[in-house]
Amino acid sequence: MKYSELDRTGLLQEQDRCRKTYEALKAQGLKLDMSRGKPGKQQLDMVSGILTILSDPADCLADGLEVRNYGGFSGLPSAKALFADILGCRPEECFVGGNASLNLMYDTISKAYTHGLLHSEKPWSKLEKVKFLCPAPGYDRHFRITESFGAELITVDMTTTGPDMDRVEALVKDPAVKGIWCVPKYSNPDGIIYSDETIQRFARLRPAAPDFVLMWDNAYCVHEFDGDFVPFPDILSLCREAGNADMVFEYASTSKITYPGGGISVMAASEANQKYMQKLMTVQTIGFDKVNQLRHVLYLKDKAGTLALMKKHAAIMKPKYRMVLDMLEREIEPLGIAEWQKPKGGYFVSVNTMDGIAGRTLELCKEAGVVMTPAGATYPYGVDPRDRNIRVAPSLPPVEELQQAMEIFCVSMRLAALEKLLAA
């Protein structure tokens, strides 16, 4: 029964039914959080071995470095080798940082503003105008970094193969366009893997700005929850081959491999970029936490070890995604009021409702005790022009709670759609 095919009486009857269901669920007084992509407790407990793997001080000598002491500014060599193995780049292209890749991303943009990047004519703060491309729906924290420095954010639509590349290629002809945010594998929130063609077009981009930066956030590089690891090209090699070696900065972290907040991160870039950036970075820190870097090397070992661990995460994650997708298929699909991707990795399910009801749906969810990512968050400036994208983050609640949360979510969306249709 598509809602669009119901007459007014049918809509009112359906509204009555949904309202009763909603009130009954609301009366349960639930308090559920599906707002951010956090691993659940079971996942955190599963990797507890990392807490004890380094207990003997004699093991703190690694790669010829005393990890408890200063030294090794750009990271433990074996931690660089670990990330290079995972990303497919070279160890010497890796800078291993602290517990948040977002911090390294912020720092790159911040340095572009204060000092300029390797090929900048001036620091961006000295320019009249800086524009930054934001594929949307996308990751709110990316958008906020560039917004906080005063860049004008330009929305580029996401397609099923990645950002709309015709638009990207046209926009980069403007020298004020200084970069783009990308989550190339299991994009946040759509869970889309950029196609080979999209990746090649990025590598071969010919921006007017000499210091255009491809912010390649490979946060979900090994995060399949359904099926085997999907190989992914190394963007650093592709850019180098296309004569754009210094255009790209790639980021990743172990936030959703071991602990968010207690993991390690990487910034991969050409050796020329590393030399330039590290000279600036030595002013701000003597180095990141090599003890934790060593713990991660001992625990994950290499790409194969990391992928084996990700299979265990997948076993916990998959039933949660199944639950979300099954509920949407059963409760929403026949009504024709929303569409969504069916990701096989990453941390989200991105739902596009009929226009104009995302905000109202989330308001109803909140009233019934379910907190979700705010409507609009996946768009620059927090404004979704069609008020339709909702990011569902199923990883944190246990499956039973997730089912209750999804029941509330589905009935809230139905009510929001009915309100809209009845008001038309």
Ligand X SMILES: Cc1ncc(COP(=O)(O)O)c(C=O)c1O
- The binding site for ligand X (CB under 6 A) comprises 37, 100-102, 139, 183, 188, 217, 219, 253, 255, 260, 265
116 vs 346, beta carbon nearer ligand X: 346
102 vs 375, beta carbon nearer ligand X: 102
Q: How far apart are CA 165 and CA 363, in angstroms?
A: 34
Q: Is 318 helix (H, G, I), strand (E, B) or coil?
A: helix
Shortest Cβ distance from residue 288 to ligand X (Å)?
A: 13
Q: How far apart are CA 386 and CA 228, in angstroms?
A: 35
Shortest Cβ distance from residue 304 to ligand X (Å)?
A: 22
Shortest Cβ distance from residue 219 to ligand X (Å)?
A: 4
Exposed, middle or buried, 237 (CB in 10 Å: 0-12/13-18/19+)? middle
- Which 8-state DSSP code applies to residue 89? S
Residue that has been written with the tokens 């979510």 in this structure:
409
Shortest Cβ distance from residue 337 to ligand X (Å)?
A: 27
Shortest Cβ distance from residue 378 to ligand X (Å)?
A: 11
| Cβ neighbour number for residue 26 with a 10 Å cutoff | 17
182 vs 415, beta carbon nearer ligand X: 182
219 vs 314, beta carbon nearer ligand X: 219
Shortest Cβ distance from residue 263 to ligand X (Å)?
A: 7
209 vs 277, beta carbon nearer ligand X: 277
Range list of H helices, 48-171:
49-52, 77-87, 101-114, 140-148, 165-171
Shortest Cβ distance from residue 255 to ligand X (Å)?
A: 3
262 vs 359, beta carbon nearer ligand X: 262
Residue nearest to ligand X (CB): 253
3 vs 347, beta carbon nearer ligand X: 347
Torsion sign across C-alpha atoms 353, 356, 359, 364: negative
What are φ and ψ of residue 224, in 5° steps?
A: -70, 135
Beta strands 32-34; 177-182: pairing state: unpaired
Per-residue b/e over 355-381, b at no fewer than 16 CB within 10 Å? eebbbbbbebbeebbbebbbbbbbbbe
